[in-house]
Amino acid sequence: MPDTSSHSATTASIATATKVDCRNINVFYGDKQAIFDISMAIPGRSVTSFIGPSGCGKSTFLRCINRMNDTIENARVEGQVIIEGENVNTDAVDPVLLRSRVGMVFQKPNPFPKSIYDNVAYGPRIHGLARTREDMDAVVQNSLTRAGLWEEVKDRLGEPGTGLSGGQQQRLCIARAIAVSPEIILMDEPCSALDPIATAKIEELIDELRERFCIVIVTHSMQQAARVSQRTAFFHLGKLVEFGDTEQVFTNPTDDRTQDYITGRFG
């Protein structure tokens, strides 16, 4: 188990203070253990990427941060997820409130079968973040602008979100996530269903968003991890193998398995 806190101390120039501190996370699906005792300190205002072969537990670990595993029957998460000094992986913390602070974008774009406007306004509406119609309009415009979609959709906000192209849908989902102004955005392979041009746009967007949000991204593409993230974690068989500055992980990995994976020997 690498000493993650020392890493974050030495890379203060890139990452700010720790935003999410995961301690001794174990995840079980029924009798099967999917995550083995992972601890990791994720810094704020930067992009952290999770890489690793399929089924290595990176998505599962990601879903611990906003407790999406709660929605899966017979899934059990042990350990502490500390956000801003408060452990959120307890019954005392309401997952509903937690998820308003931790947004998530999924692998496949999943806009609701509603209008573009309503998709973005959904979060602020259920959390009561905008009191007037004008406030809501502003939130929607702001979020769409941030997601780089405003110019493309401003004339058809009333049309269904499912009518957009794949890349646009994904950016709509990002806009939807940032509309509740979360502190952390989790992205579960956000580009895997998109073509290269749409992917490039999303990556650009991630780079911009990192100034305001703590972003955690699961990706299959090592190039993408290298391009967008400042920190990289390599997972293998439910364990955290290596976690460090992206540059260091890709150029000078400390573990042989990381070396093997990034050079394409397995995975």
Which positions lie near other proteins, rule CB under 8 A?
66, 68, 71, 73, 84, 86, 93-101, 103-104, 106, 108, 110-114, 122-123, 126-130, 135, 138-139, 142-143, 146, 173, 176-178, 180-183, 186, 212
User: Shortest approach of other proteins to residue 83 CB, angstroms?
Assistant: 8
d(CA 116, CA 102): 21
- Beta carbon of residue 66, minimum distance to other proteins (angstroms, whole number): 6
Give the residue with the Cβ less far from other proteins, 79 or 111: 111
Cβ 118 to other proteins shortest distance, Å: 9
8 A C-beta contact, residue 177 and residue 166: no
Q: What is the nearest approach in angstroms of other proteins to the Cβ of residue 148?
A: 14
Residue nearer to other proteins on the CB measure, 121 or 222: 121
Q: 216 Cβ partners below 8 Å, 6+ apart?
A: 20, 42, 47, 48, 49, 50, 62, 65, 184, 185, 186, 187
What count of Cα atoms within 13 Å lies in the side-chain half-sphere of residue 204? Answer: 12
Residue whose CB is less far from other proteins, 20 or 262: 20
Q: H-helix or E-strand containing 168?
A: helix 166-178
Region label for 24, one of left (φ > 0), alpha (ψ between -120 and 50) or beta (otherwise): left
Q: Smallest distance from the beta carbon of 119 to other proteins, in angstroms? A: 9
Kindly tell me which of 143 and 224 has the beta carbon lying closer to other proteins.
Answer: 143
Q: Using CA of residue 41, residue 45, residue 51, residue 56, what is the dihedral sign? A: positive
CB nearer to other proteins: pick between 102 and 226: 102
